[in-house]
Amino acid sequence: MTKTLNSKFATAALALSVAAALGAAPVAANAAPNGVTNCAAAGQKQEKGAVIGAVIGGLLGSQVSRNERAAGAVVGAGLGAAVGSYAGCNAQTKEAYATGTYQSGGRTLAGYVQPARFERAGGQFAATTRVNLRAAPTTRARAVGMLQPGERFQALATTSGGRWVLVGRNGVGIGYVARAYVMPSGYQRTAYGY
């Protein structure tokens, strides 16, 4: 009787965790930076990853915790949903970089990057600090990624009087970074007066 009751609780807890993952995932896909509860790139991979992770995590959690299967299922489903959501967001972001591009001002931009009036090509740059990538050349635009200190990138162009740099990955503009937080690397330094 107790084993059957625990099994029913585990099944109910797993169902609730999956429902919670389904309910939270659409909100997550529309948020800003990449992570467990939000994703900069559009798509359905984060939601699917959260659901699959919740199911697998719930099943594993109920099997690992022999005495408290219901609690194990809930904890496992939560952790599984988080891991699945994060992995799904990463896959979603990679797909967004590879597809969904368009041409503007002679540059190829990711679908979520807003066009701007591009000035000159930039060359190779590096971030001087941890800094957000933005969908448009303004601090009011949503964050679509982040550069780490010392991270090198291809600067496809500058805009807004040189105050913003279009960050490129494999020739595709993936976001804008404030010029104050990056500097040219290598031989470009002398061309920019460093």
Question: What residues contact residue 58 under an 8 Å CB cut-off, 6+ apart?
Answer: 10, 13, 14, 17, 18, 73, 74, 76, 77, 80
Q: How many domains does the chain have?
A: 2
Q: Find the domain containing 178 and state its range.
A: 102-191
DSSP string for residues in 131-177: EEEESSSSTTSPEEEEE-TT-EEEEEEEETTTTEEEEEETTEEEEEE
Most confident of 25-29, 97-101, 148-152: 148-152
The CATH number of the domain holding residue 113 is 2.30.30.40
57: pLDDT confidence band, cut at 50, 70 and 90? Answer: confident
| φ/ψ (deg, to 5) at 159 | -150, 170
Which of the listed residues 98, 115, 139 is the one where a domain comes to its end? 98
Least confident of 2-16, 25-39, 163-177: 25-39
Same domain? 92 vs 126? no
Pick from 34, 68, 98: which residue ends a domain?
98
Question: Are 17 and 41 in a shared domain?
Answer: yes
Range picked from 42-46, 62-66, 142-146 for highest mean pLDDT: 142-146
Domain end marker among 70, 98, 126: 98
Considering only CA atoms, which of 159, 175, 174, 160 is closest in space to residue 122?
159
